[in-house]
């Protein structure tokens, strides 16, 4: 939007007063989104808070560390009441189950290691909730994610957060250019989480000292296997633990209890070499183990690519970038070779261990904070 002599751009990028700029804030009930809502309300924006009920909160009501427990809805509602803006709770349980939980279960049963938080952002928060924000005639939607949106010569760009320890770019790589145009991330420039908590204290928010969410919201105790068994009864069928050289080493009580790269808890002690889970063969109900070197990967097939570069993805035979193959690892130099608009082969210049199907491969500019999107790691067959 062009600059207006009477109304220069406000802090959200609109050429009108804050009071005439409606912004929907996605409120999880945690300190981050609460600070965003309080900050924008304090700036005079027309704030509307929206909290999504994504999962049955009966069992999780009193549990801390899960982003959508019932107590979090109460906390979000209280912040809105104290700061004087409207707040709505939307029942998205069916949407969440269809778009996130079911795929999580199927992916896990297929031997992958899924990242449901990415799918939730992609299919629920930045899709259905974003459309709801537009239905509410909001000019934009703001979230408490630690990531930056910058406007470049070709439009909106996605950039890493100022605080590398809080950066959430790995979980937001599938954000489309159209969504970026509409989204705002007011916390992305902050130097640390301490700065966010200081803001919460300044605004007198009761959630200022609330612990960060740690677990997937529908797996509040971190026990993936028990959740899968509830969703898919009979999923934990026993089978064999097999060495990569063909030797049968023992029995397991379900492939869903294992992940690629796992070393502890295999139940096959007494061997001279440390063994790791190198492959999960769901069809044969086999957990395949082997030496650490079998975990090393140089070439990664990637699909469902969301490309955020300025030029079309297939306009070059190679893209020299850095990539993350797990959220907890730093970006490593790589070469992306496009196979189509949405598929590619990624070559890691330094091989990585434990690259797992179901994880994301996120593309970073090696020379700046910009994110070029990413895709999903799969087996390549």
Cα separation of 152 and 56, whole Å?
42
- Nearest-5° Cα angle at 130, 322 to 141: 80
Question: 227 a known binding residue?
Answer: no
What SS3 string covers 12-51?
Answer: CCCCCCHHHCEEEEECCCCHHHHHHHHHHHHCCCEEEEEE
Residues 189-228 as b/e (b if ≥16 CB within 10 A, e otherwise) read: ebeebebbbebbeebebebbebeebebbbbbbeeebbebb
Neighbours of 131 (CB within 10 A): 11
Question: 72 a known binding residue?
Answer: no
Question: 144 a known binding residue?
Answer: yes
Question: 188 a known binding residue?
Answer: no
Strand partners, 215: 66
3-state secondary structure of 82: helix
- Nearest-5° Cα angle at 169, 166 to 171: 100
Question: 380 a known binding residue?
Answer: no
The answer to whether residues 10 and 17 touch, using CB atoms and an 8 Å cutoff, is yes
Which residues are tagged catalytic? 120, 217
Question: 235 a known binding residue?
Answer: no
- Which ranges in 23-145 belong to alpha helices (H)? 31-42, 70-83, 93-96, 102-109, 116-120, 130-135
Neighbours of 263 (CB within 10 A): 12
Question: 26 a known binding residue?
Answer: yes
DSSP string, 309-325: SSS-GGGSS-EEEEEES
Neighbours of 244 (CB within 10 A): 14
Tell me how far CA of residue 130 lies from CA of 20, 25, 142, in angstroms: 19, 10, 10
Reading the block at residue 367, the tokens are: 């020379």
Question: 32 a known binding residue?
Answer: yes
Length of the chain equals: 381
Closest to 166 in 3D by CA, of 142, 190, 197, 149: 190
- Annotated binding-site members for ATP: 26-33, 52, 144
- Annotated binding-site members: 26-33, 52, 144
């Amino acid at each position: 939007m062009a600059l207006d002599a009477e109304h220069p751009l406000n802090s959200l990028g609109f050429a009108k007063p804050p009071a005439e700029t409606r912004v929907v804030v996605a409120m999880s009930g945690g300190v981050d989104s609460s600070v965003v809502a309080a900050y924008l309300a304090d700036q005079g924006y027309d704030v509307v808070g929206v909290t999504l009920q994504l999962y049955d909160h009966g069992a999780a009501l009193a549990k801390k560390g899960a982003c959508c427990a019932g107590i979090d809805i109460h906390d979000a509602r209280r912040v809105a009441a104290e700061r004087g803006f409207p707040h709505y709770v939307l029942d998205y349980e069916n949407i969440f189950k269809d778009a996130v939980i079911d795929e999580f279960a199927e992916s896990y049963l297929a031997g992958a290691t899924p990242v449901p938080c990415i799918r939730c952002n992609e299919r629920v928060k930045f899709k259905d909730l974003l459309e709801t924000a537009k239905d509410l005639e909001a000019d934009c939607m703001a979230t408490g994610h630690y990531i930056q949106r910058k406007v470049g010569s070709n439009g909106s760009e996605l950039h890493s957060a100022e605080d590398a320890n809080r950066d959430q770019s790995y979980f937001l790589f599938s954000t489309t250019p159209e969504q970026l145009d509409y989204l705002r991330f007011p916390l992305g420039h902050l130097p640390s989480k301490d700065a966010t908590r200081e803001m919460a204290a300044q605004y007198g928010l009761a959630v200022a000292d609330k612990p960060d969410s740690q677990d997937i919201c529908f797996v509040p105790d971190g026990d993936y296997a028990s959740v899968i068994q509830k969703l898919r009864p009979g999923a934990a069928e026993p089978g064999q633990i097999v060495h990569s050289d063909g030797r049968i080493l023992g029995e397991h009580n379900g492939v869903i209890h294992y992940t690629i790269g796992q070393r502890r808890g295999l139940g096959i002690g007494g061997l001279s070499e440390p063994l790791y889970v190198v492959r999960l063969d769901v069809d044969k109900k086999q957990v395949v183990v082997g030496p650490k070197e079998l975990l090393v990967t140089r070439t990664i097939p990637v699909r469902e690519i969301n490309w955020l570069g300025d030029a079309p993805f297939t306009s070059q035979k190679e893209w020299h970038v850095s990539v993350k193959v797990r959220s907890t690892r730093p970006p490593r130099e790589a070469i992306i070779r496009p196979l189509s608009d949405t598929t590619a082969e990624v070559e890691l210049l330094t091989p990585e261990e434990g690259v797992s199907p179901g994880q994301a491969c996120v593309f970073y500019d090696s020379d700046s904070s910009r994110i070029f999107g990413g895709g999903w790691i799969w087996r390549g067959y």
